[in-house]
Structure 1
Amino acid sequence: KSQRTQVKLKTLHPVFDELFYFHVSPEHYRHRYACLTFTVMDYDWLSTNDFAGEAVAPLSDFCWPGRPNASPAGKNVQPVILHLSRSKPSEKPIMRMLDARTGDREAQEFVRRLKEIEKSMEEE
């Protein structure tokens, strides 16, 4: 089930000092690939919110009852710092559609230039 933080206005470096409680069954958190996905959106009061990035963290990074590092009711929980990632523009479905238009020189040129920009940004 999804949960939301409070919106942090007028900051480029928001700190989300909030606790969330999830009911996770033992069979789920024991699963080797069990994880939490965090999606960060840039709040926009005029139109739809913009995707800022996402981070995935294994459940093993967190504590739950019965674990040696568990703490009652979320007390003394250590902060978790996650780095956001986002897909490259050229990997988005719309760009793949443009790339597939092999007979459209304008679309092909646009995709080629976008990939060049991405490559130059990686080299910096």
Structure 2
Amino acid sequence: MTKVYFNHDSLCVEVLSARDVIPLDPNGLSDPFVVLELLPKRLFPKTHEQITNVQKKTLNPIWDECFEFGVSLEACRSQQATLALSVWDKDVLTADDFAGEAYVSLSRVPGVNSHAPPDPLRPIELPLMQLHDRNHPILQILESRTTDKLAIDFVKKQKLRFAEQ
């Protein structure tokens, strides 16, 4: 569950909780954390990804953490402006495991195309997506777009995730 809204030159993201995270540790649990990132980078060149704390040994983590991104309203109104939330399982001796990701179109976020976010702001539930097939047709189509830097960067990032698993 997440709350996202635009308020006074900042995009505010509240990462509340998740449920039924896939078990990625030998004990049948996970140590999940969330990476928040604004995309595409050309719209948000000065923002950096932000990360929640790790919630140990759980499939139903509660973070209740707030993050702010100092961004312009104009950038958020772009049809391409997106908040990416990636869930990972923290590992000590090996690379962290990718658990899934979700995306929020910023043009639909309260406060972006309206004057103020509603009060009270209702949380949204974002189903996590996972791409299991490194030869998925969507990745092949994106990879064939050799002049599209965004598509190529996206495919590279996905291939890195496959390599880490």
Given the two structures, how large is their TM-score scaled by the length of structure 2? 0.46
The structure-2 alpha-carbon separation of the partners of 1:61 and 1:16, relative to structure 1 and needing over 3 Å to count, comes to farther
Could you tell me which residue of structure 1 aligns to residue 74 of structure 2?
27
Q: Does 1:83 align with 2:130?
A: no
SS in 1 for 2:70: coil
Structure-to-structure mapping, 1:1-124, within 5 angstroms: 1-64=48-111, 67-70=114-117, 76-91=120-135
- Return the structure number with greater helix share: 1
Residue 90 of structure 1: CA displacement?
4.7
1:89 and 1:28 map into 2 onto residues whose CA distance is 33
Task: Flag structure 1 segments of 5+ consecutive residues without an equivalent.
Answer: 97-124
How far the C-alpha of 1:33 sits from its partner, in A, is: 2.3
Q: Report 1 or 2 for greater relative contact order, CA contacts < 8 Å, sequence distance ≥ 6.
A: 2
Range with bigger deviation, 50-59 or 11-20: 11-20
- Quick one: structure 1 residues 63 and 16, their matched pair in 2 at CA, closer, same or farther if it must change by over 3 Å? farther
Q: Following TM superposition, by how much is the alpha carbon of 1:42 offset from its aligned partner in structure 2, in angstroms? A: 0.7
How much identity, in percent, do the aligned residues show? 36
**How far apart are residue 24 of structure 1 and its match?**
1.5
User: For residues 6-34 of structure 1, what are the alpha-carbon distances to aligned partners after superposition, in whole Å with 9 as ceiling and x for unaligned?
Assistant: 10101011123111101121221111221
Q: What secondary structure is seen at the aligned counterpart in 1 of 2:75? A: helix
Aligned Cα root-mean-square deviation (Å): 2.6
Consecutive unaligned residues in structure 2, runs of 5 or more: 1-47, 141-165
Kindly indicate which of the two structures has a greater share of residues assigned to strand.
Answer: 2
| Runs of 4+ with deviation above 4 angstroms | none
TM-score (norm 1): 0.60
